[in-house]
Structure 1
Amino acid sequence: MGNYTIMLTFKTEKWQEDIINKRLEIGRKIYNACLNELFKRYRTMEQSKVYRKEWKNLREINKDIDNCKKDDKKKVKLEKKKLLINKDLRDIKKKFKLYTPKSSKFKEALLRSVYVPMQHYFKKHIQQEITDKIADRAVETFYKYMYDGYGKPQFKKFGEFNSIENRRNSCGIIFKGNIIKWGKLKIPIVCRKNDIYVQTALGKDKVKYSRIVRKFVRGKYKYYVQLILEGVPPSKLNKDTISKGSVGIDIGTQTIAICSKKVVKLLELSPEIQNIDKERKRLLMKLKRSRRATNASKYNKDGTLNENNKDNWIKSNHYIKTQLQLREMYRRQADIRRQSHNKLAKYILSLGDTVYVETMNYKALQRKAKKTIINKKTGKCNRRKRFGKSIGNKAPSMLLDILDNKLKYQNKELIKINTWKVKASQYNHINQKCVKKAINERWKVLNYKGKEIKIQRDLYSAFLIMNVNDDLESVNNELCDKLFDDFIIFHDQEIERIRISNNKRISSMGI
């Protein structure tokens, strides 16, 4: 059974907010202590001769495997050796208390010696269950860095630890009768009687555990409780209707093409998001000038940072005010983006419950190009920037996560096709050939029934993605032939709609 979350506002007084802030600060210190201990163990392991020897062997074997051909017998032997080395590396990590099976409750045993003395000192404020959860959080973050290739985890600064939760609703943070009990602290929750969604959820499903969240909104902190409930969220007055059928989506960095049997759409992702680049740059420059003016001794005469000066940074009142403006701008953008993605996800599910999408590596698209290319005409270097700004603004990966979560409530999931084998942006189902095209070529010319027709590239890709075979590695040409006439009609209607509308068009649409 799945879980879902509802967020409600606290009805707090000043003294209650002070207690919550104090407990969040204690949680921050415990989190940093756990993370620090993990880093110590990791550094000690890296310096050990056994680990360095095994790691060197692994690198050499990986090089040999890359040099081998596909059907080489030597490759099979090398892969067996690689498995043995990986096993030895796991044993070394176990010795340094950095590896246990993820299926077991490894996190508690891993750091209990670190946080139990701290927790005992703060037991009036932070209970054992909550401390365990904080340790879980530190270990999960560190495991992502150590195994999954995520960035190095950072220690939480003062005021950055903004949420705390427990394991179950029976102890620690307890929700009962529209009141949150946390030790001696009792805080009422704003739960309106006319809020049908919340009342239905609380009446229908059991509260699994609670999470207290602090948000900085319009220059001051606001406090919320997130109730994690077991089950499926109630539909909002029959607006969350999910139709049956196949839907193909071709999602880019700024646009999304949607294709079903009855609807073809080419939409901008999060159209409500405003371009804040100019305002953001202006505020950052303002902060830089203020920082230099109030901390003159921290800089050298040539403008570079004086590394020998270890004095604390001074922040003026104007500096703090500008920081708050920037923070509020980011928060607003994030809220608008999430709301927009939720609306679009509901619309996609109203077209069909079997949703196909290409696998995309958005992190790779955000990175700068490795090679510096010189422009032959101008003699200058081309910019190495790629799609970082547009992905940061539109967050296409977030939309896919929201879609997948909504499908899971219906015991389904987002179906990801094999991008490299299907080649939806290159394939032509009429002559069954692949033709590679440049990114700026946004239209395809197809020879259909003796005529040449122009089809928008993203919409055609969505159409092909919708009609993939069950193996998710090839296009079903027969199904494409059946539905292509209807697709052309819907395609032409959508292109006309975009041309007539006064909305600003994205250049990647090619219209």
Structure 2
Amino acid sequence: MAKSSYVLTLRLKTEPFQEDTLDKRFEISRKMYNACVNELYKRYRTMQQSKKYQKVQKMKKGKERNVLFAELNTQFGLTEYSIHAFLTPMNQRFSTNIDSQAGQKLGTRAFQAFKKVMLGEAKKVYFKRYGEMTSVEGKSNKTGIRFVENRLVWKGLSIPVIIRHRDVYAHLALQDRVKYVRMKREMIKGRYVYYAQLVLEGVPPPSYHSNGLKQQVGVGRVGIDIGTSTVAVSSKKETILAILAPNVVDYERKIYLIQRKMDRSKRAMNPHKFNVNGTIKKGNKEKWVFSKRYGKLRNEYRELHRKNRMIRQQDHETMSNQLLALGDTFFVETMSFKGLQKRSKKTEKNGEGTFKRKKRFGRTLSNRAPSMFLSCLERKLAYHGLELKKVNTAKVKASQYNHFDHTYTKKPLTKRWNDFGGMKVQRDLYSAFLLMNMVDDKKLEKIDRERCIKEFDLFLENHKKTMSELQKQPHTFKSMGLK
């Protein structure tokens, strides 16, 4: 069984000449990755044209079909090791800049991305454009990209990392074995900043503050009802109804204005690339020309997205730590967030006779990232040998269940409160309470009604405290039922 690992990110103290060398190596890596993707497409199309593939494609799904597909993949070179062999001449050609292990990892990345196309999980693999290669990694800390004595060493470069004297977490983490190193760069305020990401063996060390341990795992059952923009949590200690990533700044208006300016600049500099009606000319292979102003606007656009991404990640980490203190057995309903991002297929009209918008939750999911929050929580639980138990949504129907009379009632999304004989309970918190009281078996398809009856009074007390605190807050969402 593979040992668990975690990542420590340290900023590099680079000199201008080192940055030039790193930029060159990232560009070489991009071209090598694109060459692998191009070769995979060629081999895949050749395989699709073969009679054997067409025959296997028509077969009934099963083990026999999978075995024949695996044989075809080997025959036409659609395997990870065949791509490593394809990269060998390139590794030799660029040996002064890219080591063989880093080259092989690029081939592995390309193959893993293309594998999704082969399995029908993705429609296509995109080639990386100039500047889009942001990371290169090795396979071990023995050769290639290495971390030695607080320095990143790679093909003639020796760059010190920045470790603050008071950064206790970093000093404790560096006592663990370095499995391999990843070079990463990020555009911040118009210039690249470089980092060394150390993949360390073990679990992250605990964070300390003046009062003791910062992150502690509680004891008990916890139910989580995740939404597109909010999360409801129920435990014996307390209930929580909170906005996901509350500190994410709404930059929509700024981003929209920057995009308009970029589009005007692009059209002014490239009239030969557009038709009279404003559409882009097909088949025109002349180079795009961009002004300095366009470059500045693009950097502003990237910076706004970067800020949002960092704030969102920090908020998710904080919320995950808060939940870990509530218990050690977590239940959450399975939900397809990708399905919620898609546009509605139905064409409908509202009461005024105008067509309804087909857009759904794409922008909200992008800003609040509920799936990322669950991944963050799942990762932290794994460090403590725990797991996030995923409940079968279709069979449990927590939003419809009433534990008092053991019935199911379908409710519209606009109805945010459940009325139990004059006793009102917030819908999301009640769903979280029901999930907390699941029958803990392998199937996770049934709510323990007796446990619900036993624990409901305590839940009601916690519920009242939570809702009274939310009433005092200036900013809440309509879905919380307070507006």
Paired amino acid for 2:301: L
Deviations 1:65-96, CA, capped at 9 Å, x for gaps: xxxxxxxxxxxxxx7xx443343333323322
* CA 309–33 in structure 1, closer or farther in 2 if over 3 Å, else same: closer
User: Match of 1:392?
Assistant: 366
C-alpha distance in 1 between matches for 2:447 and 2:476 = 30
C-alpha distance in 2 between matches for 1:244 and 1:148 = 41
- Secondary structure at the counterpart of residue 438 of structure 1: coil
User: Match of 1:217?
Assistant: 188
Deviations 1:277-329, CA, capped at 9 Å, x for gaps: 11111111111111112222222222222325432111111111111110100
**RMSD across aligned C-alpha pairs, in angstroms?**
1.4
C-alpha distance in 2 between matches for 1:127 and 1:434 = 61
Note if 1:89 corresponds to 2:64.
no
User: Match of 2:272?
Assistant: 297
Check the 8 A contact 1:244/1:352 in 2, yes or no.
yes
User: Match of 1:36?
Assistant: 38
- Secondary structure at the counterpart of residue 166 of structure 2: coil
Check the 8 A contact 1:10/1:224 in 2, yes or no.
yes
C-alpha distance in 1 between matches for 2:274 and 2:152 = 50
TM-score, length of structure 2 as denominator length: 0.95
Note if 1:507 corresponds to 2:459.
no
C-alpha distance in 1 between matches for 2:196 and 2:339 = 36
C-alpha distance in 1 between matches for 2:329 and 2:472 = 31
Structure-to-structure mapping, 1:329-478, within 5 angstroms: 329-375=304-350, 377-447=351-421, 452-471=422-441, 472-478=444-450
Paired amino acid for 1:174: R
Structure-to-structure mapping, 1:92-241, within 5 angstroms: 92-98=72-78, 107=80, 109-147=81-119, 149-203=121-175, 205-237=176-208, 238-241=213-216
Note if 1:263 corresponds to 2:238.
yes
Paired amino acid for 1:90: A
C-alpha distance in 2 between matches for 1:301 and 1:92 = 48
C-alpha distance in 2 between matches for 1:405 and 1:287 = 39
C-alpha distance in 1 between matches for 2:120 and 2:239 = 37
C-alpha distance in 1 between matches for 2:167 and 2:14 = 20
Check the 8 A contact 1:2/1:231 in 2, yes or no.
yes
C-alpha distance in 2 between matches for 1:304 and 1:180 = 48
* CA 44–396 in structure 1, closer or farther in 2 if over 3 Å, else same: same
User: What is the CA distance between 1:155 and its match in structure 2?
Assistant: 0.9
- Secondary structure at the counterpart of residue 161 of structure 2: strand
User: Match of 1:66?
Assistant: none
Paired amino acid for 1:336: I
User: Match of 2:58?
Assistant: 56
C-alpha distance in 2 between matches for 1:48 and 1:326 = 46
User: What is the CA distance between 1:410 and its match in structure 2?
Assistant: 0.7
User: Match of 1:322?
Assistant: 297
Question: Identity of counterpart residues, as a percentage?
Answer: 42
User: What is the CA distance between 1:232 and its match in structure 2?
Assistant: 1.0
C-alpha distance in 1 between matches for 2:391 and 2:341 = 22
Paired amino acid for 1:331: R
User: Match of 1:74?
Assistant: none
User: Match of 1:23?
Assistant: 25
- Secondary structure at the counterpart of residue 222 of structure 2: strand
- Secondary structure at the counterpart of residue 444 of structure 1: strand
Paired amino acid for 1:401: S
User: What is the CA distance between 1:351 and its match in structure 2?
Assistant: 0.7
User: Match of 1:63?
Assistant: none
- Secondary structure at the counterpart of residue 186 of structure 2: strand
C-alpha distance in 1 between matches for 2:167 and 2:120 = 41
Note if 1:482 corresponds to 2:457.
no
C-alpha distance in 1 between matches for 2:401 and 2:325 = 28
User: What is the CA distance between 1:455 and its match in structure 2?
Assistant: 0.7
Deviations 1:53-74, CA, capped at 9 Å, x for gaps: 332344xxxxxxxxxxxxxxxx
Deviations 1:98-121, CA, capped at 9 Å, x for gaps: 25xxxxxxx2x2213311001101
C-alpha distance in 1 between matches for 2:430 and 2:109 = 43
List gaps (5 residues or longer) in structure 1: 59-78, 100-106
C-alpha distance in 2 between matches for 1:175 and 1:17 = 18
Paired amino acid for 1:91: E
User: Match of 1:102?
Assistant: none
- Secondary structure at the counterpart of residue 304 of structure 1: coil
User: Match of 1:278?
Assistant: 253
User: What is the CA distance between 1:150 and its match in structure 2?
Assistant: 2.7
Which deviates the most, 194-203 or 140-149? 140-149
Note if 1:495 corresponds to 2:460.
no
C-alpha distance in 2 between matches for 1:323 and 1:273 = 21
User: Match of 2:219?
Assistant: 244
Check the 8 A contact 1:33/1:114 in 2, yes or no.
no
